[in-house]
Chains A and B, each alone.
Chain A
Amino acid sequence: DGGITQSPKYLFRKEGQNVTLSCEQNLNHDAMYWYRQDPGQGLRLIYYSQIVNDFQKGDIAEGYSVSREKKESFPLTVTSAQKNPTAFYLCASRGVLGTGDGNTIYFGEGSWLTVV
């Protein structure tokens, strides 16, 4: 089935530790996104990538890093510099703007990250 796969679903991080969240899509979409969701707040954009080997910071990029070596994959690393990482993380992708598929963002199932 076509879609976006995030893993792991649940992840625990110790203080000072880096962790990486995986995101894979088989929709052949160029654009991919990482959002963070906290209770009572809208989705906030961490990073986005519109093409392989290129990515841009979103509104809350500090303490996070990404890579886009393949079209299908857009992993997010939460570094120890992110002081409050406990949140629900959502990966998403979008088709080409101007096409029928370009007007919808599709989401993965999300990853819950908790600092212990």
Chain B
Amino acid sequence: GQNIDQPTEMTATEGAIVQINCTYQTSGFNGLFWYQQHAGEAPTFLSYNVLDGLEEKGRFSSFLSRSKGYSYLLLKELQMKDSASYLCAVRYMDSNYQLIWGAGTKLIIKP
């Protein structure tokens, strides 16, 4: 199967930095996505990685290593509004390009 693994829950302090990891099976890989989802709301797009390296977008950055089947989402200068679930999803060629979703990481920000 094509399992996407990410931690269930993480806690961090306002103003700090947190890194959320995601691992996946590499065969047929065609792109990795990060989405943010606040409780009771729809997911919103954060980032897309298809090549190795770091993509920076303001306070959020996403890293990809295709050979290791590994990605992380880095959130800097954490704010209370960053409390949400962060979903990692991978697109595979042999799944007709559909996304396979991880269960999400619930991030709790404390003052």
A-side interface residues toward B, CB under 8 Å? 40-45, 48, 56, 58, 88, 90, 97, 103-110
Q: Which residues of B (69-110) have their CB < 8 Å from a CB of A?
A: 87, 89, 96-104
A42, A103, A104, A108: the one contacting B101 at CB < 8 Å is: A42
Q: Would A107 and B48 count as touching, CB distance under 8 A?
A: no
Chain B contact-residue range equals 20 to 34
Contact A105 B99 (CB under 8 A): yes
Q: Which residues on B sit within 8 Å (CB–CB) of A108?
A: 42
Across the interface, B104 reaches (CB within 8 A) one of A42, A90, A106, namely: A42
Q: Are B43 and A107 in contact (CB under 8 A)?
A: yes
Which residues on A sit within 8 Å (CB–CB) of B7?
Answer: none
Q: Report Cα–Cα, A110/B33, bound state, in Å.
A: 20
0/1 string, B6-18, CB within 8 A of A gives 1: 0010000000000
Chain A neighbourhood of B97, CB < 8 A: 97
